[in-house]
Amino acid sequence: MRKMRTWRECLIEQLADRESAIAYLQAILEDYQIYKESTIVQRSLLTVVESQGGVIELAKQVGIAPQVLSKMIANEDIPLIDTLGIVLKALGYQLSIQPIKLENCNLDTYSEDRQNTSTYMDEEAIAKS
């Protein structure tokens, strides 16, 4: 009889595909903007790390001990944005920032063209943070 897999095992298998992992992380970041659930972001990030080779392999790429990387991802005391920058860069991803609707924004813009422009942090900006 075939052993049944858990939902998490199926998700990790699906997220082994780079495009699926990117779409998954984008959806998680969008949800975070609404619900502010950092625990979900942390767990999702760890799931993607596992799907892309695991904590040990990623720790080698980042140049830190696997235990330290695991604590970075799971620790609520470390700013999540810093953790995201480090881990996503090592996975070959980058954070993306897109403008929100103006009625939800308190800042004035200096150009209507800029309202429709997406801004992406490059790897150098992440590395400097």
pLDDT, tens digit, 9 for 90 and up, residues 46-72 = 999 999 999 999 999 889 999 998 888
In a domain, 113, yes or no: no
In a domain, 124, yes or no: no
CA distances from 23 to 17, 67, 86, 101 (A): 10, 27, 19, 21
Average pLDDT score, the chain: 75
Nearest Cα neighbor of 125 from 96, 91, 98, 102 is: 96
In a domain, 16, yes or no: yes
In a domain, 89, yes or no: yes
Report pTM: 0.63
In a domain, 118, yes or no: no
Q: Which amino acid is at 51?
A: S
In a domain, 119, yes or no: no
In a domain, 74, yes or no: yes
Dihedral sign, Cα of residue 39, residue 23, residue 47, residue 57:
negative
In a domain, 32, yes or no: yes
Residue 122, C-beta contacts closer than 8 angstroms, at least 6 positions apart: 94
Nearest Cα neighbor of 70 from 95, 45, 36 is: 45
pLDDT of residue 106: 45
| Residue 32 pLDDT exceeds 70 | yes
For the segment 93-113, the average pLDDT, to the nearest whole number, is 53
CA distance 108 to 101: 12
Domain span including residue 83: 7-94
Question: Which phi and psi (to 5°) does residue 96 adopt?
Answer: -125, 145
- The total of structural domains in the chain comes to 1
